[in-house]
Structure formats: structure tokens, C-alpha cells
């Protein structure tokens, strides 16, 4: 079966991003500091697919994602088409269970998956994630609770967590 991946660029309060969809759902939502590098990564990840720019067709998706960046605590209805190893898929599902405004450690995720010694493997799965916010690797922190790396930048991670925590606190008030 031949696959077509459609993509579009978006702008947000945290910078530009690329959004890409297959017929099944979102395959990439990444902050992009260098468009050429982001497009190369998309082409490499889907080497056997037709990669087509479709700003008009993805306008609604881009608008939803831009809104999500400002309000990362919100749920949006976008189907995902996750591509990764079985282990990465398990980690990403565990990440999706972390509520907005909360954090957990790499070791805690590893323990939930059955092997508490696999914190490094969990970190690697987070680094392989191509769908920002909706697969919330920004909610994973070090064992001591301090912030760790984020493939799209430490400042973005801190900002997303802060936005979520403020929104959750506002909902409770």
C-alpha cells in the first residue's frame, strides 16, 4: 500500500512547527527551528511515502495544534498514527496517561512498564517521539523532580509545564 504524508507549517507562541498527517492520523508535530532539517527528518522517517505540502488541507489541524501550544492542558480530537518500535509505543502510551499539570520520572514510567531499571530506555523513547504535547514527553522529569532534556528545547519544556500547571490550578480555584 502506498502512503502519502501531507504536511504544513504552523506558527505559535513557542516558535514554528511542522504538522504531518497520513490517512490514519497525525504522524509528526514537532517544533521547528530549522525548516529544512525538519522536512529532511520527515522525508527520512517516511522514505517510502509521497511527502506533499498541503497548507490548505491541513489548515484546521495547524490551527488546533497552535491553540494546543498555548493551552497544552486541553484535549483536542486529532487521531494519531504513531510509528515506533513496540517498546517506544508502550512508552508513548504510558506518557499519554500522565495528566496535564503532572510530571513523572523516567524510572517511574519504566517501573510501570515492568522494568524499573530501564529509565535510560524510556528517555530514548521520549527522544524518538515525533508528536509534541499530544505524546507528552515534556511531562517526564528526572528522579529528583528536576527538569531534564527535551528534544525541542529546555525552555519550551519549562513553558509547557508552567502553562499546564497554571491552567490546572485555575480549574481548581
* Low-confidence residues in the chain, pLDDT < 70: 1, 171-173
How buried is 9 (Cβ within 10 angstroms: 0-12 exposed, 13-18 middle, 19+ buried)? Answer: middle
Task: Indicate which residues carry an active-site annotation.
Answer: 137
Amino acid 156: pLDDT: 95
Cα 83 to its chain centre, rounded Å, is 12
Domains and CATH numbers, the chain: 4-70 (3.30.160.70), 86-172 (1.10.10.10)
Amino acid 103: pLDDT: 95
Residue found under cell 505559535: 12
- Does residue 147 contact residue 141 with C-beta atoms inside 8 Å? yes
- Other CB atoms within 10 Å distance of the CB of residue 62: 20
Strand partners, 131: 29
Q: Which cell numbers hold the place of 64?
A: 488546533
Report pTM.
Answer: 0.92
Residue found under cell 524510556: 122
Amino acid 5: pLDDT: 98
Amino acid at each position: 500500500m502506498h502512503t502519502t504524508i501531507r504536511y504544513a507549517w504552523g506558527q505559535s507562541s513557542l516558535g514554528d512547527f511542522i504538522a504531518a498527517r497520513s490517512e490514519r492520523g497525525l504522524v509528526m508535530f514537532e517544533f521547528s527551528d530549522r525548516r529544512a532539517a525538519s522536512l529532511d527528518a520527515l522525508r527520512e522517517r517516511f522514505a517510502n511515502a509521497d511527502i506533499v505540502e498541503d497548507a490548505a488541507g491541513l489548515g484546521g489541524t495547524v490551527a488546533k495544534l497552535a491553540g494546543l501550544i498555548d493551552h497544552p492542558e486541553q484535549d483536542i480530537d486529532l487521531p494519531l498514527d504513531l510509528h515506533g518500535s513496540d517498546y517506544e509505543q508502550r512508552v508513548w502510551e504510558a506518557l499519554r496517561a500522565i495528566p496535564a499539570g503532572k510530571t513523572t520520572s523516567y524510572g517511574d514510567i519504566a517501573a510501570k512498564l515492568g522494568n524499573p531499571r530501564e529509565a535510560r530506555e524510556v528517555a530514548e523513547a521520549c527522544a524518538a517521539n515525533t508528536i509534541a504535547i499530544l505524546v507528552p514527553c515534556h511531562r517526564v522529569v528526572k528522579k529528583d523532580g528536576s527538569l531534564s532534556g527535551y528534544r525541542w528545547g529546555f525552555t519550551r519544556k519549562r513553558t509547557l509545564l508552567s502553562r499546564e500547571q497554571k491552567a490546572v490550578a485555575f480549574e481548581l480555584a
